[in-house]
A and B are shown apart, each in its own frame.
Chain A
Amino acid sequence: MVREGPSGLLKKDVLVAGAGVSDRLVELLSVQGEDLGANWADKVTGRLGGRVSRAEVKQELQEIYTALVAALGSGSLDGHGDAYGEVRALLTELSRNRARQGFTPTETAVSVFALKEVLEPALSGDGGDLAAYLKFAALLDTLGLFTIEVYAATREELVAAQAEQLLELSTPVVKLWDGVIGVPLVGTLDSARTMVVMEKMLQALIDTGSEHAIIDITGVPAVDTEVAQHLLKTVVAARLMGAECTISGIRPQIAQTVVALGINFGDIATKATLADALRHALRRSGVTLSAAPQASAR
């Protein structure tokens, strides 16, 4: 083979210097650059199950390939080092895209690991190449792990963003009447949600100048001591601001649980249904409801 000579020479150097290893790798990767790149793209495309076109994959990998060869050219084999900044930046972009498009971690990391398989047939088989290949494999492992990390981080960002959106979605404050606002709660109450509910409700009291707020817990699946505590805090905060708060939508099972747990709602007005609570709030604000057909409120 043509490379017999240089690799034989390098064999000695390889054992003493990392620079020799990276030189050999640059050589291996450069000589058959086109073929390796094409093979790499083929393998990765195969693994992605045709969800990304070959041309796209090839373009992505070509950039990484070029950056990788350039980094190896600098003599470093440390995947966390400065030399690989460009490679990492490209991998970050690739991993982020894959995570957003819903690929699995394996399908993301395969982009890096496939290069090992591709490079294997190109080895000449002597000790120097083997050592170089092992070093290269270690480097690719580092980069592969890096893609997984970026992938996981991106997924977590997505989850956090969705949780935040859910929080926003699930805490509407609605105006029920002049001076009466309603907060229909749906889903489990935890500290974070109670905080959001409390803030939104208190702000709404100010914005609308309302003196009555109704917290409807029909959609809350269970009330334990913690949830009750959160509700009480919200009511007390509303009172401090000069508004009155009623809790409505207490289902029979919930009432049973509350009594069984020995939770005392004190002097807080509680009503079975939202309608009862609204009637209570209107009466408190001096609005009278009459059965006469022509006027419902005065």
Chain B
Amino acid sequence: MSERVPVLQIGQVLLVSIQIDLDDQSVLALQDDLAAKVVESGAHGVVIDITALDIVDSFVGRMLATVASLSRLLDAQTVVVGMRPAVAITLVELGLSLGGVRTALTLEKGLQVLERAHVSSLGASGPAGAIPDTAAGR
């Protein structure tokens, strides 16, 4: 029986804080839980906090990308926050640039990113390019 990572809801945002070293089983379970929860809550944003993770392997890396595209389908933005330098270096060395996944330094900044993205998506007439999309750059 693998441990399950809780998916918490704060207003219209889902928060997943990964505190344990994930095995492949719990990664898949988390992916399922998250998809179900996004549909159930109608959340517009998902924040995945990996501050506590010392090691991110290619499987977890791919999970982050999958969750991002999955929630985009369900009309929710995903932001990965709190990645450590060592983890970032490992992912780059592995050749995983997590294309399409938004990232932010801290949970607070991640929530701000979601907030801005939500506001601008509500008002489609809002100023274009106001969202700092770090993953897409430029």
Contact = CB atoms under 8 A, between A and B. Distances in A.
- Give the bracket for the number of chain A residues in contact with chain B: 20 to 34
Contacts of B79: 242
Contact of A243 (B84, B134, B138): B134
Interface residues of B, number: 28
B103 A239 contact: yes
A240 B105 contact: no
A158 B97 CA distance: 39
In the complex, which of the residues B79, B88, B98, B105 has the most CB atoms of chain A within 10 Å of its own CB atom? B88
Contacts of B20: none
Nearest to B61: A240
B88 A202 contact: yes
Nearest to A235: B137
Nearest to A203: B85
A239 B85 contact: no
A176 B109 CA distance: 20
A283 to B, nearest CB: 11
Interface string B78-109: 01110111111101110001100011111001
B85 A206 contact: yes
Contact of A241 (B88, B93, B136): B88
Contacts of B88: 202, 237-238, 240-241
A293 B25 CA distance: 61
A209 B132 contact: no
A244 interface: yes
Contacts of A210: 105
Contact of A240 (B91, B109, B132): B91
A198 B89 contact: yes
A209 B105 contact: yes
A267 interface: yes
Contacts, number: 77
Contacts of A266: 137
Nearest to B56: A240
A28 to B, nearest CB: 64
Nearest to B101: A240
Given A206-B85, A206-B105, A267-B137, A242 B91 contact: no
Q: Say what secondary structure dominates the interface of chain A.
A: helix
Interface in A167-224: 195, 198-199, 202-203, 205-206, 209-211
Interface in B118-138: 132, 134-138
B92 A242 contact: no
A239 B91 CA distance: 11
Interface in B5-56: none
A240 B136 CA distance: 11
A241 B105 CA distance: 6
Which one of B91, B105, B135 has the greatest number of beta carbons of chain A within 10 Å? B105
A210 B138 CA distance: 17
Given A203-B85, A209-B105, A211-B109, A237 B137 contact: no
Contacts of B83: 240-242
Contacts of B86: 199
A237 B134 contact: no
A206 B81 CA distance: 11
B89 A269 contact: no
A287 interface: no
The 9 closest A-B pairs by CB, nearest first: A202-B85, A242-B103, A242-B104, A237-B88, A240-B88, A267-B137, A242-B105, A237-B92, A267-B138
Given A242-B80, A269-B138, 11 more contacts: A203-B85, A206-B105, A209-B106, A211-B109, A238-B88, A239-B103, A239-B135, A240-B98, A242-B83, A243-B134, A267-B137
5 contacts: A202-B85, A202-B89, A203-B85, A205-B105, A241-B88
